[in-house]
Amino acid sequence: MDARSLTELAAALARGETSSVALTEAALARVDAMDGALNSFISLDTEGALEEARAADARIARGDAGPLTGIPIAHKDIFCTRGLRTSCGSRMLDSFVPPYDATVVERLRQAGAVLIGKTNMDEFAMGSSNENSFYGPCGNPWDKDRVPGGSSGGSAAAIAAGLVAAATGTDTGGSIRQPAAFCGITGLKPTYGLVSRLGMIAYASSLDQGGPMARSAEDCAVLLGAMAGHDDRDSTSVQRPLEDYAASLQQSVEGLRIGVPKEYFGEGLDSNVGAVIETALKEYEALGATLHEISLPRTALSIPAYYVIAPAEASTNLSRYDGVRYGHRCEDPVDLEDLYTRSREEGFGDEVQRRILVGTYALSSGYYDAYYKKAQQVRRLIAGDFASAFESVDVIAGPTTPGVAFKLGSKTSDPTAMYLEDIYTLSVNLAGLPAMSLPAGFSEGLPVGLQLIGQHFDEARLLATAHQFQLRSDWHRQLPSPGARP
């Protein structure tokens, strides 16, 4: 295990204490030795990683290095990577090798980061536990019998286990923040449109957003600085000036108005998790921030709204996987209908099929107005609740999840119970807001995440708010022991 953060590794490279090749070889060796018990990686690119590491060392020697140059990282297996399998955790794409890089991958390559491999995930990003992967479930480094969260569970687990210092994730309804909370790391879901979606395999196009996952807010600021920015190849990418998120980290929280939604501290929240979050909020008070009770009255409606909108968009996006153009194709189809039916039945797992069916039904004639249109109207009301709250506060804070990481298999037979795990995160995606989760303490020996929610494009303030907390706490530095709760 390497406990060093991204910024600590960058400093070691800058001082000449190590090389990118040495860091990359060590990271690959850790994956080989430790990941058999975790299953956090789907694919490794040993040869490609070492080639990139040698190029990074040459760049450092020329004095042409940035803060990410030479740092080994991983990508969630939802981002297309040129010449390297991109499976999306699905049998449907098990043999898919893209001819191009996603914009996020391209930009991190340009920044000099070294890609060692692709991380495990819920199939097509549909899940909250990383148990829906064609390649098997991923374990949580704090207790390998518990889930790491999903859908970016592989990225979170790899960071928590010290296999890599940083990775990318995607967040459609909490899929960066929830695994970050369960694994005791820091994860940021940016404002919708801030990070290009080009080459990020679509689940729900109006909700999906890529973002950074790492040990600290400082690391996430460095990653976001490389990932963010307009992409004229992506029609959902927002054109706005670039920001230096790392340079804004020292912004004080003195006088910061923190809104605390009463709906986040009611029925369903584990009392021990609630106590950890309240202690963290008191730390902010000690730093000069003020706490204000607010109301987000339509929080409970985020689950039914999301689970109509997201499956409806998934039904449309996944219709391209038909056994004809690319992806899994069944053997010896008897006719076109058999080709479509068996290819999709064999290629998609149960949860993906369930959401496609729900989405197709919601979009069908006679039901569109009753379900999809109504859900979009509720979505507007949820966004309005946030807009009203931000008239009186600067940041909103609360728990990321209702409880700590749950046991593998404990909720797979009850989809509704699984969906409730996202109660505090879904509304952020429906409103298109930025939010992040940072480690705030422990309950039952397992990490608890504090969620911070900001106004549109207020990532700099969110990262600074998290960084100031992490300067005065060491929760983000806590590591699972190699034999943690086996």
Question: Is 413 designated active site?
Answer: no
Q: In this structure, is the dihedral angle defined by the CA atoms of residues 266, 416, 208 and 85, taken in order, positive or negative?
A: positive
Q: What are phi and psi of 354, to 5 degrees?
A: -60, -45
Q: Say which DSSP state 375 is in.
A: H
Q: What is the dihedral of CA 140, 141, 143, 147, to 10 degrees?
A: 0
374: nearest Cα among 382, 144, 449: 382
CA distances for 237 relative to 106, 192, 194, 306, angstroms: 16, 8, 6, 22
154: nearest Cα among 261, 73, 54: 73
Q: Say which DSSP state 149 is in.
A: -
Q: Choose, from 87, 90, 175, 302, the residue flagged as catalytic.
A: 175
82: nearest Cα among 94, 96, 71: 96
176: nearest Cα among 205, 153, 147, 146: 153
Residue 393 half-sphere exposure toward CB, CA atoms < 13 A: 25
Q: What are phi and psi of 398, to 5 degrees?
A: 180, -170
Residues 6+ apart with CB under 8 A from 339: 322, 323, 324, 329, 330, 333
219: nearest Cα among 74, 73, 27, 7: 7
Q: Choose, from 40, 76, 129, 189, the residue flagged as catalytic.
A: 76
Buried b (16+ CB within 10 A) or exposed e, 283-309: bbeebebebeebebebbebbbebbbbb
Question: Is 76 designated active site?
Answer: yes
Structure-token match 């001082």, residue found: 15
Q: Say which DSSP state 4 is in.
A: -
β-partners of residue 212 are 168
Question: Is 118 designated active site?
Answer: no
- What is the residue type of 20? S
Residue 170: strand, helix, or coil: strand
β-partners of residue 75 are 118
Separation CA 34–CA 173 (nearest Å): 30
Q: What are phi and psi of 400, to 5 degrees?
A: -80, -40
183: nearest Cα among 201, 163, 197, 210: 163
Q: Say which DSSP state 200 is in.
A: B
Contact between residue 38 and residue 30 where contact means Cβ atoms under 8 Å apart:
no
Contact between residue 24 and residue 156 where contact means Cβ atoms under 8 Å apart:
no
Q: Choose, from 40, 90, 151, 216, the residue flagged as catalytic.
A: 151
Residues 6+ apart with CB under 8 A from 273: 399, 401, 402, 403, 404, 443, 448
Q: Catalytic residues, which ones?
A: 76, 151, 175
